[in-house]
Chain A
Amino acid sequence: MSEKQPSVLSRRGALGAGGAALIALVVRPAHATTQTMHEAIQHFTGGAAVKPGRVTMDIPPLVENGNSVPLTITVDSPMTEADFVRAIAVFNERNPQPNVGTFHLNARSGRAFVSTRIRLGDSQIITAIAQMSDGSLWSGTAELVVTLPACVEN
């Protein structure tokens, strides 16, 4: 019995390792997932707590062409030397990469405002996170439907 034990364990170990390898192969995402988006957000926030609110995203709820989607973000902030928005980062959950863009503002920006055009690979929820000068983090989300996603044409 005591002689058999190691071989049983090693077979189990081998099966376990094989299974883990298989799972790693299967779950390797071709697209960003909610999980990778959360990892990207963690990287931006440094693990600090994010409170919902103060961030407004202006993006059409129904997008015909995902190759160019107008996105405007405003943050409720006085934008004074004492209290201003340091950065606004935008994340998505269904494009190949979770990051969309990070915009660095300062006290002389006047308004916490940024506008750009983005690509969307699928219907999804977009998240924007604003980092204030006092270090607090606020988030806003927008859910949208894309009828013709980006990255499908050759």
Chain B
Amino acid sequence: MARALINVPPKAKRGEVIEIKTLISHPMETGYRPKGDGSFYPRDIIHKFVCTLNGEEIFRADLYPAIAANPFISFTTVARESGLLMFSWIDDRGEAQMESAKLVVE
């Protein structure tokens, strides 16, 4: 669907608070942008973002049209165990983009 960038620290100490940064390319069409003929471009935004580690949810966000295009979301989590981070962005067309990243805790 789109290009996504994910920034996870390459290695984390056990118990350390790590910051995870995500960026995905998406127009985040608000539904309020005029076409010029009196109608508006239909709304198409990513309305949900979820991040899980080994299947357990660690962060979730509900997004609205006031989130800028190409949504950037950054959050923190405590590095407890190594595993697979799964990221998913769900847009108004019901399309979900999934990305994954490895978390290495030593």
**Interface of A with B (CB < 8 Å)?**
67-69, 92, 95-97, 99-106, 108-111, 113-120, 150-151, 154
Contacts and interface: CB of A to CB of B under 8 A. Distances in A.
B11 interface: no
B14 interface: no
Nearest to B19: A113
Given A101-B63, A106-B57, 6 more contacts: A104-B61, A109-B58, A109-B76, A116-B61, A119-B66, A154-B34
A85 B23 CA distance: 24
B68 interface: yes
Interface SS of chain B: helix, strand, loop or mixed?
A: strand
15 contacts: A67-B69, A95-B66, A96-B65, A97-B64, A100-B67, A102-B62, A104-B59, A104-B62, A105-B75, A106-B57, A109-B58, A109-B76, A114-B75, A116-B72, A116-B74
B94 to A, nearest CB: 20
A101 B80 CA distance: 28
A88 B57 CA distance: 16
B72 A96 contact: no
A114 B30 contact: no
Interface of B: 17-19, 30, 32-34, 36, 57-69, 71-78, 80
A102 B34 CA distance: 27
Nearest to A107: B78
B68 A110 contact: no
Contacts of A102: 61-62
Contacts of A92: 66
A119 B36 contact: no
